[in-house]
A = this chain, B = another copy of it.
Amino acid sequence: MSRQAPTLEDVAREAGVSRATVSRVVNGVRNVDPDIQDLVRHAIERTGYTPNRAARSLVTRRAETVALIVSGAKDAFAARVFADPFFGRVVSGVVGYLRARSMHPVLLFAESEAGRKQVVDYMRQGSADGALVVSILADDPLPEMLLSAKVPTVLFARPGRTAPISYVDVDHRAGGGLAGARLLARGCRHIAAISAPPELPAGQDRLAGFRDALARADRCPPPVVEGAFTLDSGAAAMTTLLREHPEVDGVFAANDLMAQGACQVLREQGRRVPEDVAVVGFDDSSIAMTCRPPLTTVRQPVEDMASTMAKLLHEQVEGARTEPRTVIFEPELVVRESA
């Protein structure tokens, strides 16, 4: 990066044509004589020319870059977010779509008010053409900030507050239904649930779908104990369930972490999983596989969702679509050993 890089001008001189012509062949614009194209191409090769990104962006007003924003994670928490395979799957899906279009994701954090401002600024500088937002918390103010800064934006998961923003999501309700149906199919007679914190709409949907499934089978409404999406809260909820409903033989936990906590308590109390009590989780996180026993769980097609998210953004940037769109994906039951 030290010696002066060759510019369009250099190539033009070398090929004996004008800058404009070289620019045309570089960008594959038609209306260029094939012979001259060759001429230019050779000159490019000889000079080792590569277009300068900044100069191009300055005039095209395109960064060929999208921001992948993890929003809502507190500082200390940030490391965990990245270490979670879920994040990796999102990255993988996004990259899968972008790379074919020679676009690249820039990683951004927004874990505080200041962080959100910085992110918005970053976007307003034109550093990226649009934003892909993964919010950790419900009620994240970032999407609306982006919206009012007129930054093309697509979210992973439905926003807490309704707003005209595109997003992708999974059909949580259907997922809960899958879990309920599985427990029913196993012949469980006394089914219960460990639910999500009430402020998470997705969690409520999972529970609703689960209840639907039982209702469709003419079962009475199941006992539900609220959890907090953590291992400990799952364990605590299971303890409560066991005390108040010792006859329980099937449990749906609204995420894998709580399912794992439940399994631990079950084992400690001498109940076998799945023989005595069947357990179904949600998310198919890495825990699901390493848990003992491996968890039967509901899987979100995260990679597909992420790549669709990138696609929606791309279309929005290209101006092909302007009205917000939402795409909902079907979850899938992954049967392992716990149910």
Interface of A with B (CB < 8 Å)? 1-3, 5, 50-55, 57-58, 63, 65, 68, 78-79, 81-85, 87-89, 91-92, 95, 99, 102, 104-109, 118, 121-122, 124-127, 150-152, 286-287, 290-292, 303
Contact = CB atoms under 8 A, between A and B. Distances in A.
A315 to B, nearest CB: 15
A282 B5 CA distance: 45
A89 B84 CA distance: 9
Contacts of A89: 79, 82-83
Given A91-B82, A105-B107, A107-B107, A125 B50 contact: yes
Q: Which of A88, A95, A121, A126 has the most CB of B within 10 A?
A: A88
Given A1-B126, A79-B88, A106 B65 contact: yes
Contacts of A54: 54-55, 57-58, 63, 126
A198 to B, nearest CB: 28
A88 B84 contact: yes
A83 B83 contact: no
Contacts of A122: 104
B92 A127 contact: no
Nearest to A60: B54
